[in-house]
Structure 1
Amino acid sequence: MSVIYILITVSIVVAIVFLIAFIKAVKSGQFDDDYTPSVRILFDDEIKKSPSKIIKVEKQKSI
C-alpha cells in the first residue's frame, strides 16, 4: 500500500513539473505563430472569392 502513495506523489510532482514547463513555454512565446500572418496576405483574395463561388454553386443547384 505504501508503494501506491509513493507512485501518486511522484506522478503529481511530474505533472506539476510539466505544467510549469508548459506555462514557461507559453509565456516565453514558444507557441506564437509568426508564419501565418505573413502568408495570410497572399491568400486573402482566395478567401474573399470563395463565399461567392459557394453562393453561385448553390444557386445553380436550386435551378
Structure 2
Amino acid sequence: MTGLAFLIPIALGLGLAGLGGFFWAMRDGQFDDLDGAANRILIDDEDEE
C-alpha cells in the first residue's frame, strides 16, 4: 500500500509533464503543416543542377 503512495504521484506527474509537452509543441507550431512533409517526398529535385 505504501508503494501506491509513491507510484500514483509519479504517474500523475509524468502524465502532466507529457500533457505540458504536448501543449508546448502545439503552441510552438509543431503541428501546423501536416501535409507539407508528405508532399515534399513527391517533389523531384533532380532538375536543380
Specify the TM-score bucket, using the shorter chain as the normaliser. Answer: 0.5 to 0.7
Look up the match of 1:3.
Answer: 3
Deviation at 1:8, TM superposition (A): 0.5
Structure 1 CA distance for aligned equivalents of residues 25 and 16 of structure 2: 14
Larger helix proportion, structure 1 or 2? 1
The size of the alignment, in residue pairs, is 37
TM-score scaled to structure 1, two decimals?
Answer: 0.52
User: TM-score, normalising length from structure 2?
Assistant: 0.66
Mapped to 1, the partners of 2:14 and 2:28 lie a distance apart of: 21
Bigger CA radius of gyration: 1
Match of 1:31 in 2: 31
Any stretches of 5+ residues in structure 2 without a counterpart?
40-49
Q: Percent identity?
A: 32
RMSD: 1.8
Aligned equivalent of 2:45: none
Show structure 1 runs of 5+ residues with no match: 40-63
- Structure with higher RCO (Cα < 8 A, 6+ apart): 2
